[in-house]
Amino acid sequence: MMLAATSVTSLFFAAISISAAAALAYLVATDSRRSRPVDGAAQFRRHLDALSDDSRGHLREQIRIAREQREAGR
């Protein structure tokens, strides 16, 4: 009886190990397709563009509207 319980336990842990190995292999295989090389210069230009006055115009407009609403409520 003890031998049968040990066999079932061994099979259970073997199945877990095989499942984990398959999941790891899948993640490694799909990771190379997702990763793209980062172009540092392009990323820096995008960052600078986000900080430009033109890109922040809508934010200034929202602040102006909120300020006018707050002053009108007083």
Domain limits, the chain: 1-35, 38-74
pLDDT tens digit sequence for 6-47: 788 888 999 999 999 999 999 988 876 665 677 888 888 888
Check if the beta carbon of residue 25 is closer than 8 Å to that of residue 31.
Answer: no
Give this prediction's pTM: 0.40
Separation of first and last alpha carbons in the chain: 84
The single-letter code of the amino acid at 66 is A
Q: What band does 57 get if pLDDT is binned at 50, 70 and 90?
A: confident
- Exposure class string for 2-33: b at 16+ Cβ within 10 A, else e: eeeeeeeeeeeeeeeeeeeeeeeeeeeeeeee
Mean pLDDT over 49-72 rounds to 88
Does 1 have pLDDT greater than 70? no
pLDDT at 67: 94
